[in-house]
Amino acid sequence: MSQNRPRIRVRGLTKIFGDDAGPALSLLQAGRDRNEVLKATGAVVGLQDVSFDIAEGEILVVMGLSGSGKSTCLRCINRLIEPTAGQVMVDDVDVTTLGERELLAFRRTRFGMVFQQFALFPHRTIQRNVEYGLEVQGVPVAQRRERALAAIETVGLAGWDQHYPAQLSGGMQQRAGLARALALDPDILLMDEAFSALDPLIRRDMQQELVALQRRLKKTIVFVSHDLDEAIALGGRIVLMKDGRVVQEGTAADFLAAPADEYVRRFVEHIDVLGVVTAGDAMRAPAAVKPWFSTAAAALASLTQSGEPVVTVVCQEGRFQGTVDAETLKGAGETELRFLLSDKDACVPEGATLNDAVSKLASGRGEIAVVGSGRELKGVIANADLVAALARRRQEAGPQTAH
């Protein structure tokens, strides 16, 4: 598969619920809306012309309010619900064309599904619950036990394999449900409101755990949610749906900066901007940056001229080494900066949110560096830069003319 080709391609996906979808589909194709179709035919339009791509190793959040079509969309991807029209390509396979036996085999090898309800068998231990899908596939006992225990350890339930579901908390039961899906070693995880039944604190823990798991396992994940905060916590792109159609697709920052219409603007108006805007969005070019073999005297002169609170120090390759404040520089003369570093941790990754930057600055640091994956210096952020970035975003997210 080409590195740039999406792992999943959804094209024109349409689902009509009713005994005879043909007339309703014709009306949709003629430009009628779902209310007109319902009135004319009695058929309910669950999805209409839904299209999006999902990259390898990506978490894509499909979200919307109740009745938006998000869960229907998810279930059409693996044909738990049969699409009326459209195409779902997984790599080079058109899932919508598979026969019943081919579809069953394809699901077993490609898809794992995690539901809102844990759906654990109360009379089976956690190990035997996690083994269930492997048991259905006819995997030998020793092999399925080994795979189940590995999945249980992966989700942080090591030592709980011989307990029963009633002996586990809600969060632990959901971990067991996730382990059951992972034990099958699917390429793609489909998660339908998987954390909605959990208490808020446990829910946040599970969100963080899923992101960490995805980084390690590189699964492709389609996650359905009605909660914008959850979508932001999971990161990546969002497909926002309303009335069975995609309203907008992009990151949370995209939704803030350029909402597609009034519905999107209202959807994001209470968003925590600090949790969306990245350090890369807020940074500026450093005015006082010096290589680490520069002298304290030269750095102090640069600091005085620039008005910056600290000198940002880099090595010969441009990687961030730390900062030095004016008090440290005074009287240090010809001493090289590499021996004077006063704060080696005054940095955040380029993709970190402003919440991370705020916590660093709140500790008394006057300025922090923004670095790339190899700690290469990208820019700097001071308190004034945070304020300016927030002001820009709030202005962008303000009332706009719908289009």
Grouped pLDDT means (10 residues each) for the chain, 403 residues: 74 91 90 90 93 93 92 94 95 94 90 81 94 89 93 90 92 89 89 84 84 86 90 87 94 82 85 80 87 92 84 92 90 90 89 84 82 92 79 58 36
Q: How far is CA 356 from CA 23, 278, 363, in A?
A: 54, 9, 11
Nearest to 74, CA basis, from 57, 102, 54: 54
> Does residue 343 contact residue 288 with C-beta atoms inside 8 Å?
no
Q: Identify the pLDDT of residue 393.
A: 64
Q: Could you tell me the domains of the chain?
A: 55-250 (3.40.50.300), 279-389 (3.10.580.10)
Q: Identify the pLDDT of residue 185.
A: 87
Q: Identify the pLDDT of residue 402.
A: 36
Q: Identify the pLDDT of residue 4.
A: 58
Q: Identify the pLDDT of residue 194.
A: 85
Q: Identify the pLDDT of residue 394.
A: 59
Q: Which residues pair with 314 in a beta bridge?
A: 291, 320
SS3 of residue 88 by DSSP: strand
Q: Identify the pLDDT of residue 397.
A: 53
Nearest to 190, CA basis, from 97, 106, 77: 77
